[in-house]
Amino acid sequence: EPEEALKLRPPIITIMGHVDHGKTTLLDRIRKSRITASEAGGITQHIGAYKIEHDGKPVTFIDTPGHAIFSSMRARGADITDIVVLVVAANDGLMPQTLEAIAHAKKAQKTIIVAINKCDLESANPMHVKSQLAERGLQTTDFGGDTECVEISALNGKGVDELLDLLALQAEVLELKANPKGHARASIIEAKYQQGRGAVASVIVESGTLRTGKPFICGPFAGKVKALINDRGEAIKEATPGTPVEVIGFEELPRVGDSLVEMENDRTSKKLAGERQEELRAERLKVPQK
Ligand code: GTP
Ligand code: NA
Ligand code: MG
């Protein structure tokens, strides 16, 4: 990409951690504190990702269920995540999925920021969590290490602003940019069949601008963007880099982690889909029969 074509884009923050340590509660808290009271009633979290503004700057969050760390990190998060927020419940400490998340974030060389959650509880022991983190090579800054760590309560909101400030600072350091022009490329983070709508996927735009009416290829299938729905459930016409959006218009259910790539026209998308399907058939034939 020519340097001048690149524009700042929102950081993509993936929330990870053990089951029930409070990831979704934290995201709900962040989202709710940033919408006006009049909107609050009507908004349900539409997709497992959304964009907020913090100090006038957009930030995109992806939620991951604790029971699916491995597949989520590998498939939905790995390439598009800029920063991992590791949520650890202060009354529970590091648990199997916490360790899994640490291992995957390290392997993918992602910056980890730790949110020690549930600090409102009587049984909370953030010091213990910090010593556990240190044992895993994540020494926190207050102990001379370089892992940023915030003590929070997703339930009452304490420490959440501090976490957002840290994320904003980290994002600034990373200077994240993408080209909003040219053919769109987006990563599938969720996909499901919905009655009356067919195969629907949540994506995060990586580059270019995704627009309704545009043909695309995703895995071995052609498609066309019939509708784009934002994280508030509103139909929109276009989505820029770093934006999470729901896409309607898939021929088949796409796989999480696949890339949706805008094509010039229906002919080119169908031709490429045909070629990819042919390749898959050829590969299948090569598998030795038992
Ligand atoms: P999975 O998606 O299943 O992995 O769980 P999760 O990490 O998203 O946890 P979730 O937000 O669903 O919270 C699990 C439970 O912990 C809920 O009952 C929350 O109300 C509670 N909880 C979350 N944050 C806090 C907190 O800061 N303090 C207290 N006391 N409870 C919390
Ligand atoms: Na839960
Ligand atoms: Mg959750």
- Angle CA 186–87–130, to nearest 5: 135
pLDDT of residue 34: 62
Tens of pLDDT, residues 163-220: 999 999 999 999 999 999 989 999 998 899 989 889 999 999 999 999 999 999 999 9
* 120 appears as a binding residue in the annotation: yes
pLDDT band at 64 (very low <50, low <70, confident <90, very high): confident
Out of 77-86, 99-108, 190-199, 274-283, which region has the weakest mean confidence (pLDDT)? Answer: 77-86
Distance from the CA of 154 to the center of ligand 1, in angstroms?
Answer: 8
The residue whose CA is least distant from atom 10 of ligand 1 is 22
What's the token pair of residue 29?
């808290």
Query: ipTM of the predicted structure?
Result: 0.99
For residue 27, the ligand 1 atom closest to its alpha carbon is: 11
The residue whose CA is least distant from atom 13 of ligand 1 is 22
pLDDT of residue 43: 42
Distance from the CA of 118 to the center of ligand 1, in angstroms?
Answer: 8
* 24 appears as a binding residue in the annotation: yes
Stated pTM of the model:
0.90
For residue 97, the ligand 1 atom closest to its alpha carbon is: 4
Out of 29-38, 82-91, 199-208, which region has the weakest mean confidence (pLDDT)? Answer: 29-38
Residues with CB under 5 A from ligand 3 (ion): 23-24
Rg of the chain (C-alpha set): 20
Query: What percent of the chain is modeled with pLDDT above 90?
Result: 71
Q: Which residues contact 230 (CB under 8 A, 6 or more apart)?
A: 46, 236, 239, 243, 244, 245, 246
Ligand 1 pocket by Cβ (under 6 Å): 17, 19-25, 65-66, 117-118, 120-121, 153-155
For residue 21, the ligand 1 atom closest to its alpha carbon is: 7
For residue 121, the ligand 1 atom closest to its alpha carbon is: 30
* 17 appears as a binding residue in the annotation: yes
Name the residue of 15, 21, 25 whose CB sits within 8 Å of the most ligand 1 atoms, as the mutation to test its pocket: 25
The residue whose CA is least distant from atom 23 of ligand 1 is 22
* 82 appears as a binding residue in the annotation: no
Residue for token pair 């392997």: 107
* 147 appears as a binding residue in the annotation: no
Q: Which residues contact 222 (CB under 8 A, 6 or more apart)?
A: 215, 216, 251, 263, 266, 269, 270, 272, 273
Backbone φ, ψ for residue 258 (5° rounding)? -65, 160
Tens of pLDDT, residues 88-122: 999 999 999 999 999 988 988 899 999 999 999 99
